[in-house]
Amino acid sequence: MDALRLLSRSTGLKTSNSKPLPQRLPSASGHGPGEDISDSVSSRKRKRDSASTGEVSRDEKGVQPLSEAEVRQVQKKYRIKIVDLNSFRKSSELSESRKVQKEQSRLYPQPLTSFDQIRHRSVNKSLLRNVSTQAYFEPTEVQMATIPLFLPENEASNEPNLLTIAPTGSGKTLAFLIPLIEKISRSHRQGDDRSERHVSAIILAPTRELMSQIVNEGRKLCLSTGVNITAMRKGMRLYEGHSPMDKDDSDNDDDAEEDEGLETLPKDSTVVKSDILVSTPMSLVHALNPSWKEDESSLVHPLPNIETLIFDEADVLLDPLFRAQTLAVWSACTSPLLRISMWSATIGSNIEELAVQTISERQKVLKIRRSQRPPLLRTIIGLKDTSLPTISHKLTYVATESGKLLGMRQLLHPSRPTPAGEKKEAATAPLRPPFLVFTQTIDRAQSLYDELRYDIPAAAGGLSRIAVLHSSLPDKTRSKIMQDFRLGKIWILITTDLLSRGVDFRGVNVVVNYDIPNTVASYVHRAGRTGRAGREGGVCVSFYTKEDIQYVKGIANIIAASEKVQVHSDSPTGVPNGNSSTVSNTPKAQGIQPWLLHALPSVSKSTRKDLKQHGVESRRAIHGDDDEKTKRMKRKAKIGTQSGYEKREVNRKRGAIEHSQRAKEEPHAQNKSDEWEGFG
């Protein structure tokens, strides 16, 4: 199939009636679509009778598509790049200059600048109502760019395979759910026998938490559409003759209805009738072959009815940790009609290569002729692999592990006296909860929790305000903690990279990298737990010690790049397209001085690889075969050594001293302002 045919698709763009943006939107460039899209196109003179001019055709509702020049303008403004990867790769083979290659493979399909544009068309009305009921009035950039690629203007065979790279919190979930629900609803409308309903789409996500979030989001969009979505559960039957696994896991809580939106396992264990199944790769692979092992000969039961496969956080799913399971699920999808889309804020070139190769190999295995292969597109929003411009970053040198603990307490209790010699920065700009705190390992998350749990006085909610979440906890506990954090009952959540991907806690104000992340991508994702959906004021604080200096350059580069975008967006003249009305209130660049970037050592490839696989050495678990020196180093890096009783006592005394100090300094200070003063 010719990807260029996508160009002919119309979203029925109403150029002159674009409504003003009702709210600030997730945006890669610091301003959202819809704000002034009409500026760029409203001056265009419409041709009244397209038939007579033969130049631009209106659709049956009298709505005129944008010209290519206008689409280019829109793409430039919102930093959207859509590339036909097949043609890009072909021209690479011909070794043309990279710039020419890039230009030749760019595509300019009609963007979706407002959800209103699809309202009059044959898209499921309940789906559109569900979109607006949830106050999604205007599409974000990623939705603007990708939704039209899947809309039912053209024949289904032209639906592309797609790779999308768009910033954290920019609305990728909706971008893949809306077209998916519409696709399934369309096939129902076209006479699919409902009694024959089966799973026709699979969404894979790396963690249980993200999986439940997608199901929750999907349920709201599916209301009254006739389409349904479900999460993979233990014991589910996926095909006739399938005898589900015994529920032998330690956390045998799956009979219960769970708060994070997962439904009760059907008691009769019939083959699951849902349209969309959301799963982690491991759960699904084990449902398809309970004795599956990570070797190439381990086969899984085929799923010939799957026509859509979606990888959320695709780079993690294709990373060595999950790769075998993910590829096993992919190979189980044997329909020649299968379309795959991959979504993440970070897809490196090696992962892209793997994805493209696998798509092409699958097409060969399924004997799909070249002429029948669907387009293969890549959409990038904003700058590839950078952090959001709405987040401010703070890279804090703390020298030692104990320095981190001091630094952490300083963040939580900004009114406490700072250690001599330190700047009083935190006291002047107190950070408000919720805090999401990342450590390198489960053990360290647990130790940090043990260390900090008595820090919060009973009057502020005490122990109930702080929690730890990691994969060793039972599923039910994990769900409850997620729910309490979302509800604002928990103010400080200490966790591992389990929560670094995809989870959407709208209100997180502060992300703390108590331990530096193992990769630059992980930094982008951890930081991306704040500043979501265009929210301003999010802060990402990263502590680094002497030992970390060798690893920090990659993070510093990311921060510098995102600050550059920030400064650019804030400048009245420097905004892309010179739009001064979109000046943001984002905190100004403060983190990375150029001298620091120069001073930090560069990281070798092998060091990077080692860090990625194992983390910083001193923070790894102690192994029996470690030599004495390593053991000593690891012991020294452990978080905290006091018993719970000692911690409580120390905290009680500290609280009393602070209280009397404050009373002396400011006798009438209580309730003077509503500034966050920490938990003390």
Residue 354: CB atoms within 10 A of its CB come to: 18
Distance of CA 646 to CAs 584, 640, 650, 654, Å?
Answer: 47, 11, 6, 12
Least distance in angstroms from the C-beta of 504 to ligand ADP: 4
Q: Which does 446 bind (CB under 5 to 8 A by kind): ligand ADP, Mg ion, none?
A: none
- The three-state secondary structure class of 347 is coil
The reply on whether position 412 binds ligand ADP by CB under 6 A is no
Q: Which amino acid is at 445?
A: A
Residue 287: CB atoms within 10 A of its CB come to: 26
- If residue 312 lies in a helix (H) or strand (E), which one and from where to where? strand 308-312
Backbone φ and ψ of 309, nearest 5°: -125, 125
Least distance in angstroms from the C-beta of 127 to ligand ADP: 14
- Structure-derived torsion over alpha carbons of residues 648, 469, 489, 503, reported in degrees to the nearest 10: 150
Dist. CA 276–CA 269, nearest whole Å: 17
Dist. CA 540–CA 387, nearest whole Å: 10
- Taking the least distance from each CB to Mg ion, the nearer of 87 and 207 is 207
- Taking the least distance from each CB to ligand ADP, the nearer of 166 and 575 is 166
Least distance in angstroms from the C-beta of 451 to ligand ADP: 31
Least distance in angstroms from the C-beta of 527 to Mg ion: 14
Least distance in angstroms from the C-beta of 26 to ligand ADP: 5
The reply on whether position 169 binds ligand ADP by CB under 6 A is yes
Q: Which does 139 bind (CB under 5 to 8 A by kind): ligand ADP, Mg ion, none?
A: ligand ADP
**Burial (Cβ within 10 Å: 0-12, 13-18, ≥19) of residue 207:** buried
Q: Which amino acid is at 337?
A: L
Which of the stretches 132-140, 486-494, 618-626, 671-679 binds ligand ADP when contact is defined by CB under 6 A? 132-140
Q: Which does 170 bind (CB under 5 to 8 A by kind): ligand ADP, Mg ion, none?
A: ligand ADP
Which of the stretches 165-173, 186-194, 195-203, 607-615 binds ligand ADP when contact is defined by CB under 6 A? 165-173
- Taking the least distance from each CB to ligand ADP, the nearer of 480 and 529 is 529
Positions in 608-667 near ligand ADP (CB under 6 A): none
Among 1, 25, 437, 473, binds ligand ADP (CB under 6 A): 25
The reply on whether position 19 binds ligand ADP by CB under 6 A is no
Q: Which does 140 bind (CB under 5 to 8 A by kind): ligand ADP, Mg ion, none?
A: ligand ADP
The reply on whether position 570 binds ligand ADP by CB under 6 A is no
Positions in 509-548 near ligand ADP (CB under 6 A): 532-533
- Taking the least distance from each CB to ligand ADP, the nearer of 140 and 579 is 140
Least distance in angstroms from the C-beta of 222 to ligand ADP: 15
Q: Which does 1 bind (CB under 5 to 8 A by kind): Mg ion, ligand ADP, none?
A: none
- Structure-derived torsion over alpha carbons of residues 333, 6, 370, 378, reported in degrees to the nearest 10: -60
Interface ranges with Mg ion (CB under 5 A): 172, 502
What are the residues facing 277 on neighbouring strands? Answer: 202, 230
Q: Tokens at residue 403, please? A: 């320095």
Residue among 130, 141, 108 at smallest CA distance from 182: 130
- The half-sphere exposure of 77 on its side-chain side, counting CA atoms within 13 A, is 28
- Taking the least distance from each CB to ligand ADP, the nearer of 171 and 375 is 171
- The three-state secondary structure class of 512 is strand
- Taking the least distance from each CB to ligand ADP, the nearer of 138 and 319 is 138
- Taking the least distance from each CB to Mg ion, the nearer of 12 and 502 is 502
Q: Tokens at residue 361, please? A: 């190999």
The reply on whether position 678 binds ligand ADP by CB under 6 A is no
Distance of CA 300 to CAs 134, 329, 357, 398, Å?
Answer: 39, 8, 21, 49
- Taking the least distance from each CB to Mg ion, the nearer of 74 and 278 is 278
Which of the stretches 138-146, 274-282, 439-447, 659-667 binds ligand ADP when contact is defined by CB under 6 A? 138-146
The reply on whether position 170 binds ligand ADP by CB under 6 A is yes
Q: b/e map of 362-381 (b: 16 or more CB within 10 Å)?
A: bbeeeebeeeebbbbbbbbb
Q: Which does 25 bind (CB under 5 to 8 A by kind): Mg ion, ligand ADP, none?
A: ligand ADP
Positions in 465-504 near ligand ADP (CB under 6 A): 504
Dist. CA 515–CA 603, nearest whole Å: 18
Q: Tokens at residue 606, please? A: 């092998």
Which of the stretches 56-64, 161-169, 323-331, 437-445 binds ligand ADP when contact is defined by CB under 6 A? 161-169
Least distance in angstroms from the C-beta of 351 to Mg ion: 16
Which of the stretches 95-103, 133-141, 250-258, 619-627 binds ligand ADP when contact is defined by CB under 6 A? 133-141
Least distance in angstroms from the C-beta of 326 to ligand ADP: 18
- Taking the least distance from each CB to ligand ADP, the nearer of 136 and 454 is 136
- Structure-derived torsion over alpha carbons of residues 44, 46, 51, 56, reported in degrees to the nearest 10: 20
Q: Which does 225 bind (CB under 5 to 8 A by kind): ligand ADP, Mg ion, none?
A: none
Least distance in angstroms from the C-beta of 165 to ligand ADP: 10
Least distance in angstroms from the C-beta of 164 to Mg ion: 10
- Taking the least distance from each CB to Mg ion, the nearer of 276 and 448 is 276
Least distance in angstroms from the C-beta of 485 to ligand ADP: 14
Mask for 336-355, x = binds ligand ADP (CB under 6 A): --------------------
Number of helical (H) and strand (E) elements in the chain, helices listed first: 23, 14
The reply on whether position 26 binds ligand ADP by CB under 6 A is yes
Among 78, 136, 438, 454, binds ligand ADP (CB under 6 A): 136
Residue that has been written with the tokens 């506990």 in this structure: 477
What are the residues facing 312 on neighbouring strands? Answer: 343
Number of residues interacting with ligand ADP: please give it, by CB under 6 A. 19
Ranges of H-type helices in 308-400: 314-317, 320-332, 349-365
The reply on whether position 173 binds ligand ADP by CB under 6 A is yes
Q: Which does 532 bind (CB under 5 to 8 A by kind): Mg ion, ligand ADP, none?
A: ligand ADP
- The three-state secondary structure class of 368 is coil
- Taking the least distance from each CB to Mg ion, the nearer of 172 and 409 is 172
The reply on whether position 362 binds ligand ADP by CB under 6 A is no
Residue among 649, 612, 617 at smallest CA distance from 635: 617
User: Who's near 105: CB < 8 A, 6+ residues apart?
Assistant: 83, 84, 85, 87, 88, 91
DSSP secondary structure, 1-44, as one string: --GGGGGG------STTPPPPSS----SSSS-TTSSHHHHHHTS
Dist. CA 272–CA 576, nearest whole Å: 49
Long-range pairs for 293-296: beta carbons < 8 A, 24 or more residues apart: 294/324, 294/325
Least distance in angstroms from the C-beta of 149 to ligand ADP: 17
Tell me which residue has its CB nearest to Mg ion. 502
Residues contributing to the site for ligand ADP (CB under 6 A): 25-26, 136, 138-140, 143, 166, 168-174, 504, 506, 532-533
